[in-house]
Amino acid sequence: MTDLRLLLESGAVIDALRRLPNLDALNLDALEPLPLKGVAHDHVRLRDCALVLRIPRWSQMGLVPAAALAHQAAAFQRAEASGHTPRLVATLPPGEALPMGALLVTEIVGRTPLLPADMASIARALAALHRMPPPADPAPLPCPADPAAALLAQVERQAAWFDAARLTPEARGLIAEELDAARRDRVASPMPIATVGVDVHPGNFLIDDTGKAWFTDLEKLQYGHPAMDLAHASLYSSTKWDPAVNAALSAAEIAAFHAAWVAAVPPALAEATRPALGPLRRLTWLRTLSWMARWSTEGAALSPGMPDALRAHMDAHAADILRAERIERIRRDWL
């Protein structure tokens, strides 16, 4: 990855921004690089403009630059109606200076969630997304007819990463048991299909001064089963992902989170989602676990230039959730 500060100092980004409406007088010193929090994007705040430039470092979905940018642009445009996501202002196309392009979105002023106190706010933000069904033409966002089968297929593809990771025989055996159970424990049709954030770990939310939760990382947004989001927002593998969140929820706290979501969605959606909470919690965990198995061997190549402290946290988190003792503890959620 090109060093962000060098990229900004080159003038290529400011030149591209000045070609946008109302930004022709933008000064270079208005560009404020924000601390790197995740593995896939850099962010630059435009001082006094209430805007943030979101610069992809790579596509976690394996898309070519133009397709990845179109996906993210559609995600922000579709999700805006929820009232819980930033608004897309403009896109900068892929080019020499910005190989993946960039998105200009409205700035959300807020703090990192505190868990478990802010989980109800996160539940309401997810509910706002889940109340939105897919449009007649969902492209370019994925909309599988059977979201559970699509998630299982993703897990099956990613399961090869377990073979490359240095796992203990005990951990490998437990993962094999869970993979077998996931193949057997199918989710019955018909399933509710809604707008889902996918990468909804608590670190991807900001809490504003009214207590409202805003979902900020829409790279993977698509249409799918709400139970996948409910799982990803509350699993140990997610609540420990961001070092600024770094919390573990009790069974009672997870139940309270689910109750807050149920209170914020139509009763029919809550009832249709309930049978899949266990099976999709397992599958969502396997999706994350397999990705972390990949990180344990390829992390340096996936996100070069990551700050040492963040890399150390990610490495430690991967080692933790791939331990047999941790796997045994987490799977008690659905056994």
Q: How far, in Å, are 46, 170, 278, 320, 321 from residue 325 at the CA level? A: 45, 9, 20, 9, 9
The pTM for the full model equals 0.94
Domain that holds residue 244: 119-333
| CATH, residue 67 | 3.30.200.20
More confident site: 173 or 39 = 173
Q: What is the pLDDT of residue 137?
A: 97
Residue 111 placed within a domain: no
Q: What is the pLDDT of residue 1?
A: 40
Instruction: Give the chain as a 3 state SS string.
Output: CCCHHHHHHCCHHHHHHHCCCCCCCCCHHHEEECCCCCCCEEEEEECCCCEEEEEECCCCCCCCHHHHHHHHHHHHHHHHHHCCCCCEEEEECCCCCCCCCEEEEECCCCECCCCCCCHHHHHHHHHHHHCCCCCCCCCCCCCCCCHHHHHHHHHHHHCHHHHHCCCCHHHHHHHHHHHHHHHHCCCCCCCCCEEECCCCCHHHEEECCCCCEEECCCCCCEEECHHHHHHHHHCHHHHCCCCCCCCCCCHHHHHHHHHHHHHHCCHHHHHHHHHHHHHHHHHHHHHHHHHHHHHHHHHHHHCCCCCHHHHHHHHHHHHHHCCHHHHHHHHHHCC
Q: What is the pLDDT of residue 65?
A: 93
Tell me how far the alpha carbon of residue 87 is from its chain's centroid.
17
Percent of the chain, pLDDT > 90? 82
Does the structure show a pLDDT above 90 at 7? no
Q: Residue type at 244?
A: A
* Per-residue model confidence as pLDDT tens digits over 41-89: 899 999 999 999 999 988 888 899 999 999 999 999 999 999 999 999 9
Average pLDDT, the chain: 94
Q: Mark whether 95 and 158 lie in a shared domain.
A: no
Q: Mark whether 46 and 177 lie in a shared domain.
A: no
Q: Are 289 and 320 in contact (CB under 8 A)?
A: no
Residue 113 placed within a domain: no
Q: How far is it, in rounded angstroms, from Cα 132 to Cα 85? A: 13
Residue 321 placed within a domain: yes
Tell me how far the alpha carbon of residue 72 is from its chain's centroid.
12
| CATH, residue 265 | 3.90.1200.10
Task: List CB contacts of 107: < 8 A, sequence separation 6 or more.
Answer: 45, 46, 49, 50, 51, 52, 86
Number of domains in the chain: 2
Residue 66 placed within a domain: yes
Q: Mark whether 102 and 124 lie in a shared domain.
A: no
Q: What is the pLDDT of residue 300?
A: 76
- State the average pLDDT over residues 27-38: 87
pLDDT band at 35 (very low <50, low <70, confident <90, very high): confident
Residue 64 placed within a domain: yes
Q: Mark whether 86 and 193 lie in a shared domain.
A: no
Q: Mark whether 8 and 74 lie in a shared domain.
A: yes
Q: Mark whether 223 and 177 lie in a shared domain.
A: yes
* Per-residue model confidence as pLDDT tens digits over 284-330: 999 999 999 999 988 878 777 788 888 899 999 999 999 999 999 99
* Per-residue model confidence as pLDDT tens digits over 73-131: 999 999 999 999 999 999 999 988 899 999 999 999 999 999 999 999 999 999 999 99
Q: Mark whether 96 and 136 lie in a shared domain.
A: no
Q: Mark whether 296 and 192 lie in a shared domain.
A: yes
Tokens of 19: 């070609």
Last residue of one domain, picked from the residues 55, 82, 106: 106
Does the structure show a pLDDT above 50 at 227? yes
Q: Mark whether 99 and 134 lie in a shared domain.
A: no
Q: Mark whether 258 and 301 lie in a shared domain.
A: yes
* Per-residue model confidence as pLDDT tens digits over 159-196: 999 999 999 999 999 999 999 999 999 898 889 999 99
Residue 114 placed within a domain: no
**From the CB of residue 158, how many other CB atoms can be counted at a distance below 10 Å?**
17
Q: Mark whether 259 and 160 lie in a shared domain.
A: yes
Residue 112 placed within a domain: no
Residue 58 placed within a domain: yes
Q: Quote the Cα angle for 152-39-229, to 5°.
A: 40
Last residue of one domain, picked from the residues 78, 106, 134: 106
Last residue of one domain, picked from the residues 55, 78, 106: 106
Q: Mark whether 140 and 284 lie in a shared domain.
A: yes
- State the average pLDDT over residues 32-49: 88
